[in-house]
Chains A and B, each alone.
Chain A
Amino acid sequence: MFENLSNRLQEAFARLRGKGRLREADIDAALKEVRMALLEADVNFKVAKSFVASVRERALGQEVLKSLTPAQQVIKIVNEELTRLMGEEAVGISFSPSPPTVILLVGLQGSGKTTTAGKLAKLLREEGRSPVLVAADVYRPAAVDQLRRVGDLAGVPVLTAAELGVKADPVRIARAGIEAAKRSGRDLVIIDSAGRLHIDDSMMDELRRMKAETSPHEVLLVVDAMTGQEAVNIAKTFDQRLGVSGVILTKLDGDARGGAALSVRAVTEKPIKFVGVGEKLGDLQPFHPSRMSSRILGMGDVLTLIERAERSIDQKKAQELRERLRSDQFTLEDFVDQLRQIRKMGPLEELLSMIPGTAKLKKVGALQVDERELVKIEAIINSMTREERVNPAIIDGSRRKRIARGSGTRVQDVNRVLKQFQQTRKLMKQLSGVERQLTKGNLRFPFLQ
C-alpha cells in the first residue's frame, strides 16, 4: 500500500540526511523530489503544488527543535502535512439514534461497490449490528446475483426487488428495503446502487431521488485507489450533486499509488472512512490518517499491528504458550500453532510493512515473503507423528524421508523447518527473558532513550 510513494519520499529524504544545516537550496532540491513522488502517485496536480508550498514555508520558517536534525525536521513537517491532508482524525460511521441507520453506497462503474457492500456488512455485523443489504443495481447484468453471493458469505440477508415484491426500480427497491428492515427489526440498511458516471445527468438524478426518498444517514462514495487525476472531479461532482458524507477507498492492496486518497480528502473535505485492502470479505479497514502517513514515510504502523494482534491472537493460548516457554517445553505443535495465529492477522507482507524500516529492506530484496512457504511448513509438521512433534530429537534420516514424502516436499525442506524450529526456540527463550525483565521495569530500549 502506497509503496511507490513511500519509496520515493524516502529517497528524497535520504539526501538530506547527514547535513548539519539545511540551506534553502537543499530543501528545494528535496521538495522537487517530493513533488515528483506525489505526482507519480497520482496526487492531484494542484494538491501537490500547494502541499509542497506549505511544507516549504514551514521548513524555511524557523520551527527549530533542538532534538531533531534538520532532515528529521523536514520529515516531521511532511508527516504532519500528510496527516493533515488526509484528515487528522479517523472518522467512523455515524449511526442514527433511531434505527435503522441507512447507508447508501455510490460510485463509478467498477469502483468496487458491491464487494465493498459485503465487506462493510460483515465488518459492522461483527461489531454487533444487524445489517441487511439492499440490491438497488438493476442495470448491470448479474449485479443482484453478485450481491446475494457476497451477502451469503458475510452472513447478511440480501433484499432484492423480487423478494420485496416491487418493480425493478432503484428508488422503490431502496424504500421497500428500508421498510422491510424496520419490520424485521434490523438496525442497519446498506444500499448497493448501480455504478454511474458523475457526468451522467439522468443517472445522477436517480440518485438524488433515491437520497430524497430514503434520507440515508451516510452517503459513501466508493473510489478506486488507482484513479488518476480525475478522482478529484469525481468526488467533487458527486458531492455537489448529491452530497456525500464520506469516502471508501478500494483496491489499496495493489501497488496503487493512492494519490487519489490524498487528493479527494483535500479537495472535498470529506473524510475517508474505510479502505479496502484485499479481495476477501474481511479486507476492509477503518482509515487512520496519521498511521497511514507514517506508513507512507516508512515509519511503520505499530499501532495497527498491535490492534491486529489483539484481535486475532487467542489470549488464553498466548498465556499457555508463555508458560511452556518458561518451562522450556516449546514444541513443534506450538510452532505450527504460532504460524496459524500469525497468518490469521493478515497477509505477511502487509504485517511486515507495518514494522518501521522494513520498506527499505523490501526494496533491496532482503524481505521477500512467500505465503506458500508457510503452507509448506504446516504440511511438513502435519506429516509428523505426535511423538515427533513433541520430541523432534528422534527425527532421524528415515523419518525425515517419510515426512518429506508425506508432505510432498523434499528432505531438505524438512531439514530447514527443523532448523528454523530450533532457532525459533532459542529466540523465544531469549524473548521470554526480556519479558521477565520488562515486567520488572528495568529494560531500556536503546532507541527510546
Chain B
Amino acid sequence: MVKNWLQTFKQGLRRTRQGFSERLWSLLRAHGVIDEELFEELEGLLLQADVGIRTTTELLESLRERAKRERIESPARLTPLLQEELLDRLRADSPGYDAFVTLMVGVNGVGKTTTIAKLAHRYLGAGDKVLLAAADTFRAAAVEQLSVWADRLGVDLVHHQEGADPSAVVYDAIQAARARGANRVIVDTAGRLHTKANLMEELKKIKRVIERQVSDEACEVLLVVDATTGQNAVQQARIFHEAVGVTGIVLTKLDSTARGGVIIAIASEVGVPVRYVGLGEGLEDLAPFDPELFVRALFEGQGA
C-alpha cells in the first residue's frame, strides 16, 4: 500500500522532474563557476516552473548569500542548498486532521468534484463510512455529476434541488451523517472566483453552519488548486484563507504539467500547507503530500 502510492507519487511527478531537475542539472553542468549569469538562468528556470517572481527572487537571494558565506564554488554544490531552501518553505507543522466534515472549496474547473471522489475512495479504503453533500447548487448538472460518483463509490449523497441554499444542504448532510452513523462528510461547493464578494459570503455562511455543528478540529477546509494555475493561485489561497480559514491545499492535475511551482509560492507567501496532490485520473491517484518526498523526487535520478 505504502509502496504503491510512493510509486504513484514518483510517477506522477515524472513531468515535473523532467521539466525541472533535468534542466537544472544541465544548466549546472554547463557552468564552470557560480556567477551572475548562472543565477539569471536559475531565475528563468524557477519562473518557468511557476514559482513566481517574488518567491524566486527571495530564493535566489538566500542562495546567493549562502554560497558566498559558505564559500561554495562549484555550481553542482548549489543543488543541496536549493533543496534545503525549497524544503524550508514547503515544510509546515500542520496539525493532523481527523476531520468529520471536509469542506472543499476552489475556483471553477479545478477538479473539486473529482477530488471529492478520490478522497471518498481513500476514506472508504480506511474503513470509514462516508457521506457526500452536494452543496454546489449553482452549476448546471453539478448534482448529477456528484451523484454519478456517489453511485460508483456506493456512498450516500445528500442533495437538494438546483438553486437551493447550499448551507441548508450542508446542515442536512451533517444531520443525516449523524443519524446514519457516517464518520466522514465531504462537502462539494460551487466553484467560485475569489473576487466575487457575494459568493465568498455564501461560503462563509456555509462555514458558519458547519462551525455551529462540529468542533474546529473536526472541520477541515481544503482549497483545490489546479497545478497549471500560475501566480493567481497565490491570490486564490490568500482570499479563500481569509474568508474560511483554509487548512490545506489540494494540488490537482500535477501529472499533467511540468510546473506546480506555485505551491512553493503559496506555502511561503500565504503559509497554508499542501495536504494532497492529484497525480492522475484514477481514483487511486490522490496522494498525501510529503514535502521531503516531493523535493527528493524533484531532484532524484541525477548525479553530479
A: residues with CB less than 8 A from B are 36, 39-42, 45, 108-112, 140-143, 145-146, 148-150, 153, 197-199, 224, 226-231, 233-234, 251, 253-257, 259-260, 279, 372
Contacts and interface: CB of A to CB of B under 8 A. Distances in A.
Contacts of A260: 230
Nearest to B235: A255
The 7 lowest CB-CB distance pairs between A and B, nearest first, are A228-B230, A110-B109, A149-B140, A42-B230, A141-B148, A145-B141, A142-B145
18 contacts: A39-B47, A40-B54, A110-B108, A110-B226, A141-B145, A141-B149, A142-B142, A145-B144, A199-B256, A226-B230, A226-B233, A228-B232, A229-B230, A233-B258, A234-B228, A254-B195, A255-B194, A255-B195
Contacts of B49: 229
A112 B182 CA distance: 34
B140 A109 contact: no
A227 B230 contact: yes
A45 B108 contact: no
Contacts of A143: 141, 145
Interface residues of B, number: 40
Contacts of A231: 228, 230
B263 to A, nearest CB: 12
B103 interface: no
Interface string B210-241: 00000000000000001011111101000000
Given A254-B193, A254-B195, 14 more contacts: A39-B52, A40-B54, A42-B50, A109-B109, A110-B110, A112-B109, A143-B141, A150-B140, A224-B229, A226-B232, A226-B233, A228-B228, A229-B50, A255-B235
A141 B144 contact: yes
Interface of B: 15, 44, 47-50, 52-54, 107-111, 139-142, 144-145, 148-149, 193-195, 198, 226, 228-233, 235, 253, 256-259, 262
Nearest to A223: B228
A146 B141 contact: yes
A128 to B, nearest CB: 26
Contacts of B194: 254-255
Contacts of B145: 140-143, 145-146
A224 B109 contact: yes
Given A45-B48, A108-B256, A254-B195, A228 B231 contact: yes
Given A141-B144, A254-B194, A45 B230 contact: no
Contact of B47 (A199, A229, A253, A257): A229
| Residue with the highest number of chain B CB atoms closer than 10 Å, among A36, A140, A227, A253 | A227
A64 B44 CA distance: 34
A228 B262 CA distance: 9
Contacts of A41: 231
Nearest to B225: A226
B230 A257 contact: yes
Contacts of B230: 42, 226-229, 231, 257, 259-260
A40 B231 contact: yes
| Residue with the highest number of chain A CB atoms closer than 10 Å, among B49, B110, B195, B232 | B232
B279 to A, nearest CB: 12
Contacts of B53: 36, 39-40
Contacts of A111: 109
Nearest to A118: B140
A39 B35 CA distance: 23
A141 B149 CA distance: 8
Nearest to A114: B140
